[in-house]
Structure 1
Amino acid sequence: MTELTLEQRIDRLESTEAIRQLAGKYSLSLDMRDLDAHVGLFAPDIRVGRDKVGREHLKAWVDSTLRDQFTGTSHHLGQHIIEFIDPDHAIGVVYSKNEHETGAEWVIMQMLYWDDYERIDGHWYFRRRLPCYWYATDLNKPPIGDMKMRWPGREPYEGTFHGLFRSWKAFWSERPDPSLLPEVAAPAPIDQFLTRMRGDTPAPRIRVR
Structure 2
Amino acid sequence: MSLEARIERLEALEEIRQLPAKYALALDMRDMDAMVGLFCADVRVGKDASGREALRAYMDQTLRSPFTGTSHHIGGHIIELDDANHAHGIVYSKNEHETPVEGGADEWVIMQMMYVDDYERQDGQWFFRRRLPLYWYATDLNKPPVGDNKMRWPGTDWAEGNFHKLFPSFAEFWDREGAPQGPVPEPAPIGDFINRMRRGNAAPKVKVRAD
2:167 corresponds to: 165
Displacement of 1:182? 4.8
Displacement of 1:87? 1.4
Q: Structure 2: which amino acid aligns with 1:112?
A: M
1:208 & 1:120 partners in 2: Cα distance?
A: 25
1:183 corresponds to: 183
Q: TM-score, normalised by structure 2?
A: 0.94
2:56 & 2:67 partners in 1: Cα distance?
A: 16
1:12-51 superposed Cα distances (whole Å, 9 cap, x missing partner): 1001110011111000000000000000000000000111
Displacement of 1:88? 1.0
**For 1:126, what is the secondary structure of its paired residue?**
strand
**For 2:11, what is the secondary structure of its paired residue?**
helix
1:134-158 superposed Cα distances (whole Å, 9 cap, x missing partner): 0000000000001000001111111
- 1:73 equivalent to 2:70? Answer yes
- 1:93 equivalent to 2:95? Answer no
2:59 pairs with 57, 62, 69, which one? Answer: 62
2:116 corresponds to: 114
1:208 & 1:5 partners in 2: Cα distance?
A: 42
Displacement of 1:75? 0.1
Segments of 4+ moved more than 6 angstroms: none
2:154 corresponds to: 152
- Root-mean-square deviation (CA, aligned residues, Å) is 1.2
- 1:40 equivalent to 2:37? Answer yes
1:77 & 1:68 partners in 2: Cα distance?
A: 22
- 1:192 equivalent to 2:192? Answer yes
1:140 corresponds to: 142
Displacement of 1:181? 6.1
2:10 corresponds to: 13
Displacement of 1:74? 0.2
Displacement of 1:208? 3.3
- 1:84 equivalent to 2:86? Answer no
1:165 & 1:208 partners in 2: Cα distance?
A: 19
**For 1:78, what is the secondary structure of its paired residue?**
strand
- What percentage of aligned pairs have identical amino acids? 63
1:203 corresponds to: 203
2:156 & 2:199 partners in 1: Cα distance?
A: 33
- 1:51 equivalent to 2:48? Answer yes
1:59-84 superposed Cα distances (whole Å, 9 cap, x missing partner): 11111111122110000001101001
1:50 & 1:5 partners in 2: Cα distance?
A: 42
1:199 & 1:115 partners in 2: Cα distance?
A: 17
2:65 & 2:98 partners in 1: Cα distance?
A: 12
- Cα 1:181–1:163 shift into 2, 3 Å: closer
Q: TM-score, normalised by structure 1?
A: 0.95
- The answer to whether the 8 Å contact 2:77/2:89 transfers is yes
* Structure 2 portions without partners, runs of 5+: 101-105
2:136 & 2:71 partners in 1: Cα distance?
A: 17
2:103 corresponds to: none
* Structure 1 portions without partners, runs of 5+: none
Aligned residues between the structures: 204
2:121 & 2:198 partners in 1: Cα distance?
A: 23
